[in-house]
Amino acid sequence: MKLCSGWRRLVFCLPLIFFLHHLFSVMELHQESRVEDRHKKVRNKFDHLVLGPAAGQGLHNRLQCQGVKALNKTHFSASSNRGYVGENIAFVTVFTIYNSSDMSKTSGSSDVTTVGNSSYNKVERSIAILNVFINFIQVAMPQSNVVILSDPASDLSINRDKVSIYPIQGEYSRDKLMLQRIRSYIAFLERKLEDHSRDHMHNYIFVDSDIAVFDDLGQVFHDYPNFHLALTFRNNKQQPLNSGFIAVRGTYDGMSRAKVFLQQVLEVYISKYTSASRMLGDQLALAWVVSSDTSFDAKGFAKAQPFSKEIKGASVLFLPCAIYNWTPPEGAGQFHGMPLDVKVVHFKGSRKRLMLESWNFFSSSSSVADMLCLILSSGRTKYDF
């Protein structure tokens, strides 16, 4: 694993000693200031890592931690260097930066944030998140590609191996971004269908750029050979499906049925949920399309096991969020800790700092399991971005 090669050494690879020292001082500080924090917590988000107890303690099939040291071996330590992992898989994400006059307006000193040795203004930190997204993918699945669907008008440039920018015309303003995201996915699938006879086949995984991939996801296509598209679910009546992870088999059938499925989601979004919060409309629409299918029984969501269903002509594989879209828990901690075989972590909302901190930690420790302990212990904390 060439973790610290090239430009990353410059940006991310802190000497271990410095890092541990820093981490411990943060943890000590945290102990001392816990009482103080309790008052601040109500209003303020943190601008540094805050570690607390890890959820899931004592549960047999959940990761057990002592501080940021994992007591269990996760499967990763043995398998992270298998080579050829991710061949024929492309991760597709929608990403845009808001233009440079916006940037200068918002980059006053109060907007500068520091993670490890690097400081970022608002635009720089969203680029940093995109880079960390790519870093984790390239560690876990070095043969995979990343495709960034972006506004042709944005001056995004990312110079990374196996990463390409794919412009798609659309309306990328912040309040339309969720709608645009589905439109971009559909447009992308349409173009890939046109090229299909010429193109060499790829399976696609459409993801938010605030996720981190820790294991080979090619296994999903291999182990479940019959699905057209795969979605992630959780046992939550209001929002059973998360739209941050959608896998599409790169066959003609897979892509065309996924396209039709997403078109239905888009129609429902526009007709029923445009007034919903800009973050939730697509998830509500996704859930509506799935649960309005007469054959669907929501009982399947109660148990965190994969299952398949024909929905509107597509064979849909449902994968548990606990493994394929794990989110650091809020409040009651919906997943009761972290499964040992978690493959994807989603740093939703104000958990983005934790994503950058996790990469920072990983690049100096090279231990996924220990990094998972860092994420788990930090999971209930809200950060400033």
Ligand X SMILES: *[C@@H]1O[C@H](CO)[C@@H](O)[C@H](O)[C@H]1NC(C)=O
In the complex, the residues that contact ligand X under the rule CB under 6 A are 13-14, 18, 60-61, 64, 71-72, 99, 101-102, 117, 153, 340
The token pair at 359 is 């990469």
Least Å distance, CB 124 to ligand X, is 16
Q: Which is nearer to ligand X, 102 or 161 (CB)?
A: 102
Least Å distance, CB 13 to ligand X, is 6
Cα separation, 60 vs 56, whole angstroms: 9
Cα separation, 269 vs 284, whole angstroms: 8
Residue 366 near residue 221, CB atoms below 8 Å: no
Q: Which is nearer to ligand X, 101 or 110 (CB)?
A: 101
Q: Which is nearer to ligand X, 118 or 308 (CB)?
A: 118
Residue 351 near residue 268, CB atoms below 8 Å: no
In whole angstroms, what separates CA 340 from the centre of its chain?
18
Whole-Å CA distances, 10 to 120, 197, 363: 15, 42, 11
The token pair at 121 is 């203004």
* First-last CA distance in the chain: 30
Of the candidates 197, 312, 202, 195, which has an alpha carbon nearest to the alpha carbon of residue 258?
312
Residue 70 near residue 373, CB atoms below 8 Å: yes
Q: Which is nearer to ligand X, 38 or 60 (CB)?
A: 60
Q: Which is nearer to ligand X, 18 or 84 (CB)?
A: 18
Helix (H), strand (E) counts: the chain: 13, 14
Cα separation, 169 vs 203, whole angstroms: 23
Q: Which is nearer to ligand X, 22 or 382 (CB)?
A: 22
| Look-up of token digits 């399947």 | 300
Least Å distance, CB 152 to ligand X, is 11
Q: Which is nearer to ligand X, 358 or 360 (CB)?
A: 360
